[in-house]
Structure 1
């Protein structure tokens, strides 16, 4: 009778890998933050979100800026869920969404600092997508 033992060393090695840790930090952050920001579009606890919609965009969308922010909230919640279940796609989705937010903010005087911050977040979302290509799927459990 023979028995085999499975080594846990490779798994420990992976969890000790700084790139793998960065993947999980970014995945958690880009899951939780969009969901929380999306929920706040309905509550306006953090800020009065409609003021962040550029006037030219407000003219394009039907209804009020507040109604537009409700739609934004739904998209952000969905983006967070997509990052949780499919980070390779979700990272690119969030990066694209942030690019749109940056264009919107750059067209409103006085919001350039927030656009710059969102550019940093966009880079983080791209990093998540690239790390997910290595660590998510392809026979790996995560």
Structure 2
């Protein structure tokens, strides 16, 4: 059974459309994950987040590494909300944020595998932004 979503633009919008499914999957993940990880910057339940901060960055930001993680958490929460509301630009915001994380991780010996994973996430965030151009908010039921 296909669930039709009103088509007000040039592309078909159905839940059976593979491109639309990919868009929804990416939009969901890039909404939820940044918000969850952002909130965890305040609790450190998933990991010790200040351990992922390069010493040179810690030296230039005011306060402690944990203080920096509070700011990071706020930015990540905002990025997740941006993806939920305007995925075309939210995806670009997440991609830019991931680029900064990658630079940070590449300057910490032993974190290259995490930087590579984050590069994959950056590409996925760019894909979300591109797909959002085909499925703009308000024009497909989201």
Under a length normalisation based on structure 2, what TM-score does the superposition of the two structures give? 0.89
Q: Which has the higher contact order (CA 8 A, sep 6+)?
A: 2
- C-alpha change, 1:44 and 1:9, in structure 2 (3 Å) is closer
Deviations 1:85-129 (A, max 9, x none): 000000000000000000000000000000000001001100000
More helix by share: 1
1:104 corresponds to which residue?
104
Deviations 1:7-65 (A, max 9, x none): x8675962211001100000000000000000000000010000100000001100000
2:38 corresponds to which residue?
38
Count of aligned pairs between the two proteins: 135
Tell me how large the CA RMSD over aligned residues is. 1.8
- C-alpha change, 1:104 and 1:10, in structure 2 (3 Å) is closer
Where do 5+ consecutive residues of structure 2 fail to align?
A: none
Runs (4+) of structure 1 exceeding 3 A deviation are 8-13, 137-141
Q: How does 1:1-142 map to 2 (within 5 A)?
A: 11=6, 14-15=13-14, 16-137=16-137, 139-142=139-142
Under a length normalisation based on structure 1, what TM-score does the superposition of the two structures give? 0.89
Q: How far apart are the structure 1 equivalents of 2:87 and 2:22?
A: 13
Contact 2:5-2:140 at 8 Å conserved across structures = no
Q: Which has the larger Rg?
A: 1
Q: How far apart are the structure 2 equivalents of 1:56 and 1:124?
A: 28
Residue 138 (structure 1) shift:
7.8
